[in-house]
Amino acid sequence: MKRGIRSTLTLGAALTAWLALATAAWAQAPGSWTRAFPETDFTQHSIELDSIMSGGVPKDGIPSIDEPAFEAAQARRDWLAPTEPVIGLEIGGDARAYPLRVLTWHEIVNDSVGGQPVAVTFCPLCNAAIVFDARVKGQHLTFGTTGKLRHSDLVMYDRQTGTWWQQFTGTGIVGELTGTKLEMLPARLESWESFLERHPDGRVLVPNDPNARPYGRNPYAGYDSASSPFLYRGPMPEKMPAMSRVVVVGDEAWDLRLLQDKGRVETATHVIEWRAGQNSALDTADIGQGQDVGNVIVREKTDDGLKDAVYDVTFAFVFKAFHPEGTWHVKGDGGEG
């Protein structure tokens, strides 16, 4: 209990300091934006520019991985704890695991899987792990971090057109490709053990320089138990606490607690399943020791059987911000679906 209190107080102090830094940085915008992003057309935007906040770091201050290195998953079996979270992606028989211990420090991996250009992304403040097809209108885009947030979510930019993209929705919000939507690809946020079971011959992303960052450490320790999100000034959900986890499928959100109780939920179009055995990357300082939030599998019903579907395990405030008219399925409110 005392450890939890200390963690919460430490996190609160850190967030207060970071918010002050972000507020100071905002006072310099948007002039600083045009200097840092001379290729971006700021006259084109689909959102209010003042809804974008500084995350306290400059352009590419959180560096994307542009030349990812991989090793055989079996050879690195003991590198991760069995319950440690990874993004599992398989395209055309090419299976790769992207550990959150790496993505926490880089947020974007520009890669090619099964011959398909992809952007593998993770926003720690939203717990949003999303994979995109990196092709738009026949053009292969590569992405970096702007150092900005909107609704506490990562704002990316592409190096080809300078467009700014909202990570949670995959939509261009500022610049030439404003209004364009990146295609999201099915991927699983799963435990390392689960990935190894599914893809024994798969590969795992490893740091280009193991000493570049304290990989395996969580710089957001205590975030799971925070009372409110960081750098967020949007609406709060009414049906459940802001920092509760939900499983988002389209414009519907399923309370993770509901799925934990039921184990399996079936709709007209999808099957959603939960099982224990994956720890949170945003709880304890050691990513491999976080609380068990379980594995979620979402599959779509097709004429050829069940197939992996696009989904995200995120926080309730994120769904409220980006799907204000969305449908909630919350434990105990009669809307359990």
95 has which bridge partners? 90
Q: What is the largest CA-CA distance in the chain?
A: 55
Q: Please report the pLDDT score of residue 255 as a whole number.
A: 98
| DSSP at 234 | S
Q: Please report the pLDDT score of residue 9 as a whole number.
A: 46
Query: pTM for the complete prediction?
Result: 0.91
pLDDT at 3 over 80: no
For 222-238, write each residue's pLDDT tens digit: 999 999 999 999 999 99
pLDDT at 258 over 60: yes
Taking CA 74 as the corner, what is the angle to CA 72 and CA 78, rounded to the nearest 5 degrees? 115
Select the more confidently predicted residue: 11 or 200.
200
CA pair distance 184, 87, nearest whole angstrom: 14
Q: What are phi and psi of 19, to 5 degrees?
A: -60, -40
Averaged over 36-43, what is the pLDDT? 96
The structure tokens listed for 169 are 């929705």
Query: Distance of alpha carbon 111 from its chain centroid, rounded?
Result: 16
Question: Which residue reads 């991760």 in tokens?
Answer: 80
For 85-115, write each residue's pLDDT tens digit: 999 999 999 999 999 999 999 999 999 999 9
> Are the beta carbons of 329 and 245 closer than 8 angstroms?
no
Q: CB-based burial of residue 232 (10 Å sphere; 0-12 exposed, 13-18 middle, 19+ buried)?
A: buried
Phi/psi region, residue 267 (left: phi>0; alpha: psi -120 to 50; beta: rest), is beta
Type and span of the H or E element at 89: strand 85-91
Q: Please report the pLDDT score of residue 139 as a whole number.
A: 97
> Are the beta carbons of 244 and 223 closer than 8 angstroms?
no
> Are the beta carbons of 329 and 254 closer than 8 angstroms?
yes
The amino acid sitting at 65 is I
> Are the beta carbons of 245 and 315 closer than 8 angstroms?
yes
Categorize the per-residue pLDDT at 31 as very low, low, confident or very high, splitting at 50, 70 and 90.
Answer: confident
The amino acid sitting at 125 is L
pLDDT at 214 over 50: yes
CA pair distance 265, 274, nearest whole angstrom: 9
The amino acid sitting at 117 is P
CA pair distance 35, 291, nearest whole angstrom: 42
Three-state secondary structure readout of 19-42? HHHHHHHHCCCCHHHHHHCCCCCC
For 307-321, write each residue's pLDDT tens digit: 999 999 999 999 999
CA pair distance 306, 49, nearest whole angstrom: 41
Categorize the per-residue pLDDT at 18 as very low, low, confident or very high, splitting at 50, 70 and 90.
Answer: low
Q: Please report the pLDDT score of residue 113 as a whole number.
A: 98
Type and span of the H or E element at 209: none
For 265-291, write each residue's pLDDT tens digit: 999 999 999 999 999 999 999 999 999
Averaged over 150-161, what is the pLDDT? 98
Cα dist from 203 to 72, 94, 98, 106, 151, whole Å: 4, 8, 9, 19, 34
